[in-house]
Amino acid sequence: MDKRTKLMLTAKKLFSKHGFYGTATARIAKEAGVSNGILFHYFSTKDKLIEAMYFDVKDRIFHYSLGQIYKDATLKESFYTLWLAAVEWNLENPEDFDFMLQFENSPFYSLEIEKSHKYVQMTMELAEQGIEQGEFKFVSPLILVQVVAGLVDTTVKFLRMNEDLQQDTEYKNKLFEIVWDAIKK
Site string for DNA, 1-40 (x = CB under 7 A): -xxx------------------xxxxx------xxxxx-x
Whether the CB-CB separation of 102 and 16 falls below 8 Å is answered with yes
Q: Would you tell me the crossing angle of helices 118-132 and 75-92 to the nearest 10 degrees? A: 150
Residue 40 partner contact from DNA, a second copy, none using kind-dependent CB cut-offs of 5 to 8 Å: DNA
Listed in order, strand segments (DSSP E) in 72-161 are none
19-90-127 Cα angle (round to 5): 115
113 scored as a contact of a second copy (CB under 8 A): no
Count of residues binding DNA (CB under 7 A)?
A: 19
Binding partner selected for residue 183 from a second copy, DNA, none, CB under the kind-specific 5 to 8 Å limit: a second copy
Q: How far apart are CA 136 and CA 181, in angstroms?
A: 9
d(CA 43, CA 138): 44
| Position 45 contacts DNA (CB under 7 A) | yes
**19 interface partner picked from DNA, a second copy, none, CB below 5 to 8 A per type:** a second copy
Those residues whose C-beta lies under 8 Å from the C-beta of residue 150, and which sit 6 or more positions away, are: none
Closest separation in Å from C-beta 15 to DNA: 11
Binding site for DNA (CB under 7 A): 2-4, 23-27, 34-38, 40-41, 44-47
